[in-house]
């Protein structure tokens, strides 16, 4: 029986036995020890589960679960199911193909113990076998005093595994919509920026991201990818309306521009009606909220060492 669990690391997995073993090793090598790891499998085939079981059998902190049938297939469902099983007071969402620097959890837990609701760090992008650094940082910036504007402009962003969050915040915000197959981390971080959360930013690269052909971030971008990207922006527009923050006009222009490209490129074949209905609903809500103006709700971001 594991006692004194502080951090719950939740890893969705699907047919990545050759990659997740390295991820598990980087977690086992953490200088911070009070953690549990919940690997949520999304229906892997063959002997995958038996192989993972063999890898984790000597560490009681690591458990393997299968996504329940009544949960929609996908990484987001696995993350949300993992949250319901978690015992830690802090939540770390992590991908099955990336690696942690050995002091990642130690530095992030120290930050949260100072009263923050969440902490983010930088990352570095590597090639498939981590022998070459492709670039430093997920985007151009990790922090800016005008962070909501820069986030909407795409200049500021964070990768999923770079965050550590209070469980209370995660349960309140209910991140990782099962309706999205990509852009979920963008929407999650945007939701946090439009909340009253207090977030620490560590300007150090503590996560190694693996760029490979099976990664969502580096796959060819088809109609479904752009559909989810646009849908996430429409959902973000609803959040802007509710939180009372500026940027609604800019976001509507962005959505309109992406819709035009989507129609031109893919001839509107993929759920075009759904996107237009969602956008129309959001614009209608925007008109209603103009009557009831409220003070904006915005997170507080602080750079720390």
Position 280 scores a pLDDT of 79
**For residue 3, pLDDT beyond 90:** no
Position 216 scores a pLDDT of 55
Per the CB < 8 A criterion, the answer to whether 148 and 193 are in contact is yes
pLDDT in tens, 141-189: 999 999 999 999 999 999 999 999 999 999 999 999 988 889 999 999 9
For residues 282-302, give the mean pLDDT: 73
pLDDT in tens, 128-151: 999 999 999 999 999 999 999 999
Position 179 scores a pLDDT of 84
Position 17 scores a pLDDT of 94
In this structure, is residue 105 part of a structural domain? Answer: no
pLDDT in tens, 92-125: 999 999 999 999 999 999 999 999 999 999 999 9
Position 224 scores a pLDDT of 85
In this structure, is residue 244 part of a structural domain? Answer: yes
Residue ranges making up the domain that contains 247: 223-289
User: What's the domain count of the chain?
Assistant: 1
In this structure, is residue 106 part of a structural domain? Answer: no
Both tokens of residue 134?
Answer: 């492709």
Q: Is 243 helix (H, G, I), strand (E, B) or coil?
A: helix
In this structure, is residue 176 part of a structural domain? Answer: no
DSSP 186-207: HHHHHHHHTSS-EEEEEEEEEE
DSSP 225-242: HHHHHHHHHHHHHHHHHH
In this structure, is residue 97 part of a structural domain? Answer: no
Average pLDDT of every residue of the chain: 91
Position 217 scores a pLDDT of 57
How much of the chain is helix, strand and coil, in % rounded to 5? 40, 20, 40
Per the CB < 8 A criterion, the answer to whether 279 and 255 are in contact is yes
**For residue 20, pLDDT beyond 90:** yes
In this structure, is residue 232 part of a structural domain? Answer: yes
Torsion of CA 301, 148, 139, 216, to 10 degrees: 110
Q: Is 266 helix (H, G, I), strand (E, B) or coil?
A: helix
In this structure, is residue 38 part of a structural domain? Answer: no
In this structure, is residue 163 part of a structural domain? Answer: no
pLDDT in tens, 229-274: 988 999 999 999 889 898 998 998 999 888 888 888 876 555 677 7
């Amino acid at each position: 029986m594991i006692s004194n669990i502080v951090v719950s690391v939740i890893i969705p997995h699907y047919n990545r036995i050759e990659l997740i073993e390295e991820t598990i090793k980087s977690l086992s090598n953490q200088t911070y020890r009070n953690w549990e790891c919940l690997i949520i499998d999304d229906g892997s085939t063959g002997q995958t589960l038996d192989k993972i079981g063999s890898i984790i059998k000597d560490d009681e902190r690591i458990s393997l679960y299968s996504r329940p049938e009544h949960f929609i297939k996908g990484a987001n469902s696995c993350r949300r199911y993992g949250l319901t099983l978690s015992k830690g007071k802090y939540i770390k969402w992590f991908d099955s193909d990336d690696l942690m620097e050995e002091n990642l959890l130690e530095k992030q837990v120290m930050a949260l113990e100072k009263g923050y609701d969440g902490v983010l760090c930088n990352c570095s992008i590597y090639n498939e076998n981590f022998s070459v650094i492709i670039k430093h940082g997920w985007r151009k910036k990790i922090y800016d005093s005008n962070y909501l504007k820069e986030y909407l402009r795409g200049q500021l962003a964070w990768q999923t595994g770079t965050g550590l969050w209070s469980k209370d915040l995660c349960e309140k915000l209910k991140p990782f919509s099962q309706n999205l197959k990509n852009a979920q981390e963008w929407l999650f971080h945007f939701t946090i920026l439009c909340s009253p959360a207090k977030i620490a930013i560590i300007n150090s690269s503590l996560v190694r991201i693996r760029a490979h052909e099976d990664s969502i971030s580096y796959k060819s971008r088809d109609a479904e990818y752009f559909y989810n990207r646009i849908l996430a922006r429409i959902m973000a527009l609803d959040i802007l309306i509710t939180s009372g923050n500026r940027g609604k006009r800019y976001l509507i222009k962005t959505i309109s521009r992406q819709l035009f490209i989507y129609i031109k490129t893919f001839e509107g074949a993929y759920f075009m009606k759904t996107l237009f209905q969602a956008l129309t609903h959001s614009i209608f809500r925007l008109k209603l909220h103009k009557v009831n103006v409220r003070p904006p709700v915005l997170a507080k971001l602080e750079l720390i060492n």
